[in-house]
Amino acid sequence: PAAAPTEHAEQVALFTWAAAMEAQHPELGMLAAMPNGGYRPMATAVALKAEGVKAGYPDIVLDVARGQFHGLRVELKRVDHSNHATPEQAAWIARLRYYGYHAIVCYGAEEAIAAILAYLALDAQP
């Protein structure tokens, strides 16, 4: 069997979809990635930490209010479930939920797309 796509490939697929769908869903222009993951040289990691990058913050943000939520936060994982939220990621998700965000873990681009569309379908705040 072929290996499941990497998180990077899943995230690229998600943002490719979002760019293609932005005319239909203008809110997708607010979809952004947080550069928290991935390998970095130690000097870069130290510099980013000094600038406020925090371990475990979700990969993807959608700063569009819907329903009772201030925005959506998505921690994107591989579709094959070979990796799960770290303790730091789980703590961020819990804190974001406490403060009024819809914070979730999605396994693969397709699950993330479905979650984003469901979120956007919630009633918008006036």
Q: What is the pLDDT of residue 75?
A: 96
Asked whether residue 126 carries a pLDDT value surpassing 60, the answer given is no
Could you give the angle at the alpha carbon of 9 between the alpha carbons of 88 and 112, nearest 5°? 60
- pLDDT confidence bin for 25, thresholds 50/70/90: very high
Q: List, in sequence order, every residue forming a beta bridge with 77; answer none if it has no partner.
A: 107
* Helix count and strand count (H, E) for the chain: 4, 4
H helices present in the chain, as ranges: 7-21, 42-50, 87-98, 109-121
* Tokens representing residue 70 in the block: 């201030």
Q: What is the pLDDT of residue 77?
A: 94
Tell me which of 11-20, 78-87, 96-105 is least confident: 78-87
Q: What is the pLDDT of residue 3?
A: 80
Q: What is the pLDDT of residue 110?
A: 97
- Contacts by 37-45 with C-beta closer than 8 Å and gap 24+? 37/7, 38/8
Calculate the average pLDDT of the chain.
91
The pTM (predicted TM-score) of the whole model is 0.89
Question: What phi, psi does 40 have (nearest 5°)?
Answer: -140, 150
Residue that the structure tokens 């770290």 belong to: 86
Tell me which of 1-15, 16-30, 31-45, 79-93 is least confident: 31-45
